[in-house]
């Protein structure tokens, strides 16, 4: 156990530093792509969940329940193997963006719904009285107020997104978690430095996001009191 | 090749396969239950220490929670799988999940404790109770009631997160399902087809969906009761 963090292991890791940097880059790409898809789906289904149309509402509900209640690991495997056994060679990066986008999109739709419902009913009536269309109401009245409310939880979801890229380890996704465990298993078994570096990299990406989100949330609660 | 889906299900549902998957499901239940129990105990201890333990424990526990909140679960499963001083593979792997879940539960319990008015602590003091008595008799039962919905949601996440344990070859539910899917040719007699993927993973998804939907419905009801209270 004494040589878990031995100096030569660190040197070995330093020689292969590009492996980790590339892994981090892939993770960030997947997170960015996933975030865009998740925001798109989240806002669409969030708006549907608050609409008066019964069908749209139940559709949003089904989407939320499915992707919130099934583990991301299973979603990734489902998407990946469906393509592979159909004879389509799909890149794990695309699978990651799809799975993370769908899953986090469900969580974001719930945040968006909460944000829209946090706007007092009277404001909708007021805009209707002013003759604004639904789209105008959203753009001019609801969205600017809503952004402030939903920003902190959205940022938290971004951190969750980055952390959850680790499920791609299951399908050899070349993400940070995969390259770390792969580097460890195929090399000198330098678990100590590799896992420490991997953890630090994730922490360095996610901590600023979550701590800023919390500070914003506190600020927001403070102004409302 | 034209194969009927019902025929395919019949071929896949051999007694060996069913038995194997059922065992995996059972192990997942056991794991989820054990992890929840341990992490609840750990989380409550951490939250109490953080709230009533003075400055230094508060700092340490804050760091603990921040670390586990900002690093992936899978990393902790790997770390614990290698470094935890247990003999059993199962214990080592699940201890990683315990640590992560304890950090989440710690934050929930702390929120619950903070929601109890300070006056109650002072009232308890004035009755001559010591801090432990006040916590056990007065504060904790109220805080616990407040966090029941969150705890049920944590149950859902732990149940989902057990599927990560397949990565260190613990034969839990998803691991077993995947294995049967990948070796479907043994029971069906032809190469693995997309249909097999749909059947096996669809079945797994259904199981997760049913159990977690029931749990989240319970959580919603509990939340409503809490607000009405």
Spatial distance between the Cα atoms of B95 and B88, rounded to a whole number of angstroms: 11
pLDDT score at A125: 83
Best mutation target among B24, B70, B199 (most A Cβ atoms within 10 Å) is B70
Spatial distance between the Cα atoms of B142 and B66, rounded to a whole number of angstroms: 26
Spatial distance between the Cα atoms of A70 and B141, rounded to a whole number of angstroms: 32
Residue A137 has pLDDT above 80, yes or no: yes
Domain residue spans of chain A: 3-224
pLDDT in tens, B128-163: 888 888 888 888 888 898 899 999 999 999 999 999
Give me the residue label for tokens 């003075």: B54
A81 min Cα distance to partner chain B (Å): 7
Contact residues of A toward B, CB < 8 A:
4, 65-66, 68-74, 77-78, 81-82, 85-86, 159, 163-167, 169-170, 177, 180-181, 191, 195, 198-199, 202-203, 206-207, 210-211
Spatial distance between the Cα atoms of A185 and A19, rounded to a whole number of angstroms: 14
- Cβ density class A135-162: b for 16+ within 10 Å, e for less: eebeeebbeeebeebbbbbbbbbbbbbb
Which of chain B's residues have a Cβ under 8 Å away from the Cβ of A177? 72, 74-75
Q: Pick from B72, B152, B120: which is nearest to A27 by CA?
A: B72
> What count of residues does chain B have?
229
Kindly report the average pLDDT of chain B as a whole number. 90
Query: Out of B72, B205, B213, whose CB is closest to A202?
Result: B72
Which of chain A's residues have a Cβ under 8 Å away from the Cβ of B83? 4, 191
- CA separation (Å) from B168 to A189, B94, B164, B165? 16, 10, 8, 6
Q: Pick from B196, B149, B44, B174: which is nearest to B105 by CA?
A: B44
Which of B:189-228 have CB within 8 Å of A?
192-194, 196-198, 201-202, 204-205, 208-209, 212-213, 216
B116 — phi, psi (to 5°)?
A: -80, 125
Best mutation target among A74, A157, A180, A207 (most B Cβ atoms within 10 Å) is A74
Tokens of A73: 């690991």
Widest distance between CA atoms in chain B: 81
CB contact under 8 A, A74 and B156: no
Query: Out of A69, A72, A195, whose CB is closest to B78?
Result: A195
CB contact under 8 A, B75 and A198: yes
> What count of residues does chain A have?
225
Spatial distance between the Cα atoms of A48 and A53, rounded to a whole number of angstroms: 8
Spatial distance between the Cα atoms of B37 and B98, rounded to a whole number of angstroms: 9
pLDDT score at A163: 93
Closest residue, chain B, to A81 (C-alpha): B197
Confidence class for position A225, pLDDT limits 50, 70, 90:
very low
pLDDT score at B2: 63
Secondary structure class of A26 (helix, strand, coil) = helix
For residues A8 and B223, which has the higher predicted lDDT (pLDDT)? B223
Confidence class for position B81, pLDDT limits 50, 70, 90:
very high
**Is residue B228 packed enough to be buried (19+ CB in 10 Å), middle (13-18) or exposed (0-12)?**
exposed
Tokens of A156: 């938290």
Spatial distance between the Cα atoms of A132 and B151, rounded to a whole number of angstroms: 43
CB contact under 8 A, A85 and B197: yes
Confidence class for position A222, pLDDT limits 50, 70, 90:
low
Report yes or no: B134 and B124 within 8 Å, Cβ to Cβ: yes
Rounded to two decimals, the ipTM of the complex is 0.89
Q: Pick from B47, B60, B54, B53: which is nearest to B114 by CA?
A: B47
Query: Out of A72, A73, A81, whose CB is closest to B197?
Result: A81
* Number of other CB atoms surrounding residue B59 within 10 Å: 11
Report yes or no: A42 and A116 within 8 Å, Cβ to Cβ: no
Report yes or no: B158 and B32 within 8 Å, Cβ to Cβ: yes
pLDDT in tens, A177-217: 999 988 888 877 788 888 999 999 999 999 999 999 988 88
Spatial distance between the Cα atoms of A152 and A215, rounded to a whole number of angstroms: 8
pLDDT score at B130: 87
Residue A42 has pLDDT above 90, yes or no: yes
Which of chain A's residues have a Cβ under 8 Å away from the Cβ of B82? 191
Residue B51 has pLDDT above 60, yes or no: yes
* Number of other CB atoms surrounding residue A116 within 10 Å: 21
8-state DSSP, A119: S
Give me the residue label for tokens 């609840």: B40
Report yes or no: B100 and B76 within 8 Å, Cβ to Cβ: yes
pLDDT in tens, A166-187: 999 889 888 999 999 888 888 7
Spatial distance between the Cα atoms of A108 and A218, rounded to a whole number of angstroms: 20
For residues A49 and A11, which has the higher predicted lDDT (pLDDT)? A49
CB contact under 8 A, B209 and A69: yes
Spatial distance between the Cα atoms of A51 and A61, rounded to a whole number of angstroms: 12
Radius of gyration of chain B from Cα atoms? Answer: 22
Residues 6+ apart with CB under 8 A from B58: B49, B50, B51
pLDDT in tens, B197-225: 888 999 999 999 999 999 999 999 998 88
Kindly report the average pLDDT of chain A as a whole number. 88
Which of chain A's residues have a Cβ under 8 Å away from the Cβ of B197? 78, 81-82, 85
Secondary structure class of B114 (helix, strand, coil) = helix
CATH no. of A3-224: 1.10.3720.10
Spatial distance between the Cα atoms of B32 and B30, rounded to a whole number of angstroms: 6
Spatial distance between the Cα atoms of B35 and B42, rounded to a whole number of angstroms: 10
């Amino acid at each position: 156990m004494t040589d878990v963090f031995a100096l030569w292991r660190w040197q070995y890791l330093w020689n292969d530093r590009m492996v980790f940097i590339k892994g981090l880059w892939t993770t960030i790409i997947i997170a960015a792509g996933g975030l865009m898809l998740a925001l798109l789906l989240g806002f669409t289904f969030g708006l549907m969940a608050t609409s008066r149309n019964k069908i749209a509402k139940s559709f949003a509900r089904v989407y939320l329940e499915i992707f919130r209640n099934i583990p991301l690991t299973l979603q990734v495997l489902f998407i990946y193997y469906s393509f592979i056994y159909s004879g389509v060679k799909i890149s794990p990066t695309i699978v990651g963006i799809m799975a993370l986008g769908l899953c986090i999109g469900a969580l974001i739709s719930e945040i968006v719904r909460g944000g829209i419902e946090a706007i007092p009913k009277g404001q909708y009536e007021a805009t209707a009285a002013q003759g604004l269309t639904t789209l105008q109401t959203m753009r001019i009245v609801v969205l600017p107020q809503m952004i402030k409310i939903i920003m902190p939880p959205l940022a938290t979801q971004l951190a969750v997104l980055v952390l959850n890229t680790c499920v791609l380890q299951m399908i050899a996704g070349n993400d940070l978690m995969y390259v770390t465990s792969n580097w460890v298993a195929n090399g000198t078994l330098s678990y100590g430095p590799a896992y420490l570096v991997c953890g630090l990299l994730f922490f360095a990406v996610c901590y600023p996001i979550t701590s800023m989100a919390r500070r914003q949330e506190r600020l927001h609660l403070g102004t409302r009191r | 090749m034209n194969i009927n889906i019902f025929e395919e299900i019949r071929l896949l549902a051999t007694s060996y396969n069913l038995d194997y998957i059922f065992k995996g499901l059972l192990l997942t239940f056991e794991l989820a239950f054990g992890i929840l129990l341990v992490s609840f105990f750990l989380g409550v201890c951490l939250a109490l220490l953080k709230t009533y333990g003075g400055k230094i424990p508060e700092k340490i526990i804050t760091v603990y929670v921040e670390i586990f909140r900002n690093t992936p679960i899978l990393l902790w499963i790997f770390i614990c799988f290698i470094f935890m001083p247990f003999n059993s593979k199962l214990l080592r792997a699940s201890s990683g999940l315990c640590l992560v879940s304890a950090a989440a539960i710690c934050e929930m319990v702390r929120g619950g404790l903070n929601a109890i008015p300070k006056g109650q602590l002072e009232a308890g003091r004035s009755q001559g109770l010591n801090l432990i008595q006040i916590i056990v008799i007065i504060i904790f039962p109220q805080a616990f009631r407040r966090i029941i919905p969150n705890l049920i949601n944590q149950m859902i996440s732990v149940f989902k997160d057990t599927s990560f344990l397949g990565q260190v070859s613990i034969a839990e539910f998803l691991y077993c399902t995947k294995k049967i899917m990948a070796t479907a040719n043994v029971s069906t007699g032809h190469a693995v087809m997309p249909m097999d993927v749909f059947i096996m993973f669809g079945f797994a998804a259904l199981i997760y969906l049913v159990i977690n939907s029931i749990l989240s419905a319970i959580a919603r009801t509990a939340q409503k009761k809490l607000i009405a209270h």
